[in-house]
Amino acid sequence: MAWYCSANSNEGLVNNLKTAKIFKSEGVEKAMKAVDRKNYVSQGPYNDTPQPLGFGATISAPHMHAYALQYLEPFLKPGMKVLDVGCGSGYLTACFSEMVGPEGKVIGIEHIKELVDMSRRNIQKDRPGYLESQRIILVHGDGRKGYPEESPYDCIHVGAAAEKEPHALIDQLKAPGRLFVPVGVKSQSIYQIDKDENGKVTRKELMGVMVPYQNMLDDIKYENF
């Protein structure tokens, strides 16, 4: 169903995702309409499929971005703080920033230096001033460890698959806070891991996905394929 959401324009794509009920929040619609995918990926920006970014990574399909924004939406209110692990093109990082607004802060962390540079160029062009004001901070580093310097976070999104539940990331969530993470090696499930106001952690399996092996978070990819 989601794959039929492709369109010829950013607005058409977002309208199709809404009609397909991938998201329902007005805030998600506004953010996805404000951030044009063509500024983050050179080929097929409005196709509802993953696209190569170079350096062995891919930008996720628009329906996956829409799901992530919708599931995290209660933790993307104005002024909130977000960590985007494996920020790749910077597209979703920019959408998060639209949702948390100028008082909020989004940290994108990516382990491929060339992609950090690419996301910096993309955001510089598409959202001028966001990097200077530190509304968005882009970091070159290993996202498995999170980014304790800016923790705790209202929510953490992981764009790459983890072998197992990433405890360092759960530790860096606020109480309450929410983590969205694909977990698994040969195939994955996306988990929503919630920390409540007392610090109690619960998990909910949202859906099965197939993450390309280049987009595994862990070094285990080389041992297991």
Residues at the site binding ligand SAH, with contacts judged by CB under 6 A: 57-60, 85-89, 91-92, 109-112, 115, 142-144, 159-160, 215, 217
Contact 10, 36 (CB under 8 A): yes
Indicate the residue among 164 and 200 with the shorter CB distance to ligand SAH.
Answer: 164
Indicate the residue among 29 and 142 with the shorter CB distance to ligand SAH.
Answer: 142
Rounded CA-CA distance 65/28 in Å is 10
Contact 211, 160 (CB under 8 A): yes
Indicate the residue among 91 and 180 with the shorter CB distance to ligand SAH.
Answer: 91
Least CB distance from residue 40 to ligand SAH, whole Å?
A: 7
Beta bridge partner(s), residue 136: 106
Least CB distance from residue 196 to ligand SAH, whole Å?
A: 27
Active site residue 60: yes
Which residue reads 């008082």 in tokens? Answer: 103
Least CB distance from residue 73 to ligand SAH, whole Å?
A: 17
Based on the number of CB atoms within 10 Å of its own CB, is 64 exposed (0-12), middle (13-18) or buried (19 or more)? buried
Beta bridge partner(s), residue 189: 183, 208
Rounded CA-CA distance 191/189 in Å is 6
Least CB distance from residue 163 to ligand SAH, whole Å?
A: 11
Q: Give me the catalytic one of 6, 60, 97, 119.
A: 60
Which residue reads 């369109």 in tokens? Answer: 7
Active site residues per annotation = 60
